[in-house]
Structure 1
Amino acid sequence: MARVSAALVPGVLVYVWIFGPGVLIQCALAMVAAVATEALILRWRGRPLRPALGDGSVMVTGLLLALCLSPLSPWWATLIATVFAVALGKHAFGGLGQNLFNPAMVGFVFVLLCFPAQMNQWPAAPAAGAASPGFTESLAMIFVPTADAVDAVSGASALNHMKSRLGLMEMVSEIRTGPVYGNFGGRGWEWIALAWLAGGVALLVLGLIRWHIPAGFIAGLTCFSGINWLLDADVYAAPLFHLSTPGAMLGAFFIATDPVTAATSDRGRLVYGALIGFLAGLLRTWGIYPDGIAFAVLIGNACAPLIDRCTQPRVLGVIQ
């Protein structure tokens, strides 16, 4: 788990460089809350603390959850998401290795459904003329936020902006001329996506993940968005726009590849990744939320046992 965390470092550094130290505050808050919740539940269940806490998996859960949240998220939302992720997403199913759903996505979806306004307060893009908040300012906005302070530095992410403008019947070509967009995706966000991609490649090189799920995810998202784009490029964003969002790369390499909740055979991993990528594109396009990767991952988790059943190679001489 230490190497997985290390692979996240490039993305975290780029995230902080572009959008300020609020990212680090959220990461620290979520990881401390995750470890504390894990320790309390293990103590309550009469389980030893050292084996469960020593592998670092719960800290990775907290870290991934924090990276899915906005750097401007209030502290209580981060705590609620983390406690829900560890307590309900993990231990309600028996603990490490027995959970059906990705705990980080369980916690994220819970607060997204319960507190949608707070979950959509994203820092303004660099091109919008707003400077990234400093450490003291970030602390104030997270722990003692005021409406004026948050509004002064917040703005729409590229996905939020694209979805809202399309709802106003604007064309993609017109929307992409806005200041929140860069060469491929959202200005600033595309660099974070490249950093997650670099971290994902490192995981592949180190042999910590297999290539099947990321490849399936990218293929599924590309196919869905590509077909729509070819049908009407004025209404649907290009596949490269979808792939250059941080959520896509983080989901493909770090979230969907969770070995506990993913399919297990090579063919199953390809199908599983493609299903999540396809659903992510579908939910982004026609869902009510700008990004549907978390929901797509949870649906993929639910389908993983069926995918395994249908894709496991048959053993000769065994009656199926």
Structure 2
Amino acid sequence: MGNFVVTPSPHITSNNKTSIIMRDVVIALMPALVAANVVFGIRALLVTAVCVLSCVLFEYLSRLVMKKENTISDLSAVVTGVLLAYNLPVTIPLWIAVIGSFIAIVVVKQMFGGIGQNFANPALTARIVLFASFAVHMTNWVEPFAVDTVSSATPLLDIEHADTLALFLGNVPGCLGETSALALLIGGVYLVIRKVISPVIPVTYIGTVFVLSYLFGSDPVNQILAGGLMLGAIFMATDYATTPITTKGKLIFAFGCGLMTVAIRLYGAYPEGVSFSILFMNLLTPLIDRATKAKPFGVEKVRKGAEK
């Protein structure tokens, strides 16, 4: 009789390797890159290329220094680079983009063990750090299709009078990857069809913002189309490593993101609340997982005061 071998979970395997999943995410992000190139010009591609190359380089060097197996082939650094670029204005100085890449890859990802072990979404955390450090550069919005750099206000500053169709198509000032809701939705549908993400978090997050915005007297359609809500809900709030495992946990996580986003947008000093909301809920993910973990099959809860 052979040896009985017990191995740690997971016991259900899949053919979906990390590189395949990341490849699908990159494909899903391409419509937004095309939209950014059309709206903001060729510099959108330059900023994205700098972020991607910097992230890949920092991942390679950090793994080399730590004497660990290199992971640049899994494409996760590429995804981080694209997402970071999408969280930056087209006018961002390239050296700031490189700093953001360092924060995302080295500080947030590799210093905590690498892919799957980071406590928060790397690109989103890098955006918050850059915003706190270089607020002027991070809020230098420009008019779409402008030949010269023309400063403009983000639609979130006047959400009630924003053009809904322009928000949907992307003909508005903003960060590279968050202006076109249509392009982001196309990418989101692709990820759901490919079963890379579950629709639970994006639908709950967006739906919560819609309902709460309506209840508090704000334009709910413009609220879900403006700013980084679509980008955050589809591509960053669904990060495997930083979101709850169970369906109940995902619902709690997404509702919390939506509640905080509306609270910050309507009552906070900063017009956008997506990044802060997702980061805060990332920090609560371990507690949510603990509170919503499934009861082991066949185990009964011991009644308080029951005889031993």
**Structure 2 length normalisation: TM-score?**
0.84
Deviations 1:35-69 (A, max 9, x none): 111111101100122xx111100110010010010
Between Structure 1 and Structure 2, which shows a larger proportion of helix residues? Answer: 1
Shift of 1:132: 3.0
Counterpart of 2:275? 294
How far, CA to CA, are the matches of 1:81 and 1:65 in structure 2? 7
Matched, 1:216 2:197: no
Worse overlay, 218-227 or 113-122: 218-227
1:72 matched to 2:85? The reply is no
Residue in 2 that maps onto 1:226: 214
> Gapped runs of 5+ residues in structure 1?
126-130, 134-148, 164-171, 230-236
**Residue of 127, 136, 161 corresponding to 1:108:** 127
Confirm whether residue 153 of structure 1 aligns to residue 150 of structure 2: yes
Q: Could you say which residue in structure 2 is the equivalent of 1:183?
A: 165
Q: 2:102 — aligned with what?
A: 83
Identify the match of residue 37 of structure 2 among 7, 16, 21: 16
Query: Quick one: distance in 1 between partners of 2:108 and 2:191?
Result: 25
Counterpart of 1:42 in 2: which secondary structure?
A: helix
Of residues 68, 73, 92, the one that matches 2:111 is: 92
Q: CA deviation at 1:184?
A: 6.8
> Any idea what SS the aligned residue of 1:317 has?
coil
1:281–1:110 Cα change, 3 Å: same
Residues 189-208 of structure 1 mapped to structure 2, 5 A cutoff: 189=172, 192-208=180-196
Q: How well do the aligned residues superpose, as a CA RMSD in angstroms?
A: 1.9
Contact 2:60/2:72, CA 8 A, preserved across alignment = yes
Question: 1:308 — aligned with what?
Answer: 289
Counterpart of 1:16, as a letter, is N
Scaled by the length of structure 1, the TM-score of the pair is 0.81
Given that 1:33 and 1:79 are in contact with CA atoms closer than 8 Å, whether structure 2 keeps it comes out as: yes
CA contact (8 A) 1:41 1:87 kept: yes
The aligned amino acid for 1:55 is: D
Task: Please list every run of 5 or more consecutive structure 2 residues that lacks an aligned counterpart in the other structure.
Answer: 1-21, 173-177, 303-308
Instruction: Indicate conservation of the 8 Å contact 2:32/2:183, yes or no.
Output: yes
Question: 259, 274, 284: which one pairs with 2:265?
Answer: 284
> Distance in 2 between the 1:97 and 1:66 partners?
21
Shift of the alpha carbon at 1:197? 0.9
Q: Give the equivalent residue in structure 2 for 1:40.
A: 61
Tell whether 2:21 aligns with 1:7.
Answer: no
Same amino acid, percent of matched pairs: 31
Whether contact under 8 Å (2:167, 2:179) holds in the other structure is: no
Aligned residue-pair number:
274
- Hey, what does 2:72 align to over in structure 1? 53
Q: How far has the Cα of 1:249 moved from its partner?
A: 1.0
Cross-structure match for 1:124:
143
Q: Which amino acid aligns with 2:194?
A: L
Task: Tell me which stretches of 4 or more aligned residues in structure 1 moved more than 4 Å.
Answer: none
After superposition, give the CA deviation of every residue in 1:158-206 in whole Å (9 maximum; x if it has no partner): 11x327xxxxxxxx4xxx1xxx634374861497111101110110011
CA contact (8 A) 2:167 2:181 kept: no
- Aligned-partner SS, 1:207: coil
CA distance in 2, matches of 1:69, 1:55: 24
Which one has the largest radius of gyration? 2
Between 280-289 and 80-89, the greater mean CA deviation after superposition? 280-289
